[in-house]
Amino acid sequence: MSIEKAEKIFGWLPTSELRWLRQQASIHQKIVEIGSFMGRSTRVLAENTRGTVTAVDTWAGSDEQQHRDILDGKPADWLFKEFKLNMAGLTNVAVMRMLSLDAAKALVGNTYDMVFIDASHDYDNVKADIEAWLPLTAPGGLFCGHDFHSGAPGVMRAVAERFPNARVFESIWYSVLPR
């Protein structure tokens, strides 16, 4: 079980949260990640599961200042190319370059035993992601996401409404679905 390569990829998950994802990946085999950015979390999930990771993102960045600052002056495909470079050597990552809700519609009939949401952080988008991906989560599956903190009130509100008993590890929120 490894996090070393993931730690070298730019992103906002601290080492402690990468370790949490590593542990979860080790016990789940069909994982979907909504919002992959440069692949920091994708890498740790893929390196530590015996199964597959489906990465869903537009790789256009979100309308947040941090993303605009990083992408300013870069070519349109720069972020996607960075992601692909950061996935080098992995054979268990499937890429869906599209909007989250479109990907969820395309994957109807599939189920995942772990769903990790880390895309847009505003209330409406988080709520929509939760509602779109919840039906694709297997009974007993782990439904989780990132940025449950005061700097992302939309995430906190959407999660609290749908999962009032959600647990939190640092800024990762999670709930295990009933069997």
pTM: 0.96
CATH class label, 4-176: alpha beta
Tokens at 105, concatenated? 């519609």
pLDDT per residue over 7-61, tens digit each?
999 999 999 999 999 999 999 999 999 999 999 999 999 999 999 999 999 999 8
Give dist(CA 51, CA 31) in Å, integer.
8
Residue 63 has a pLDDT of: 76
> What separation in angstroms does the CA of 143 have from each of 167, 175, 177?
11, 5, 7
pLDDT per residue over 127-169, tens digit each?
999 999 999 999 999 999 999 999 999 999 999 999 999 999 9
Tokens at 171, concatenated? 């800024």
Residue 65 has a pLDDT of: 80
**What is the pairing mode between strands 93-97 and 112-117?**
unpaired
Give dist(CA 90, CA 94) in Å, integer.
10
Strands (E), 7-145: 30-34, 52-57, 93-97, 112-117, 137-145
Domain ranges of the chain: 4-176
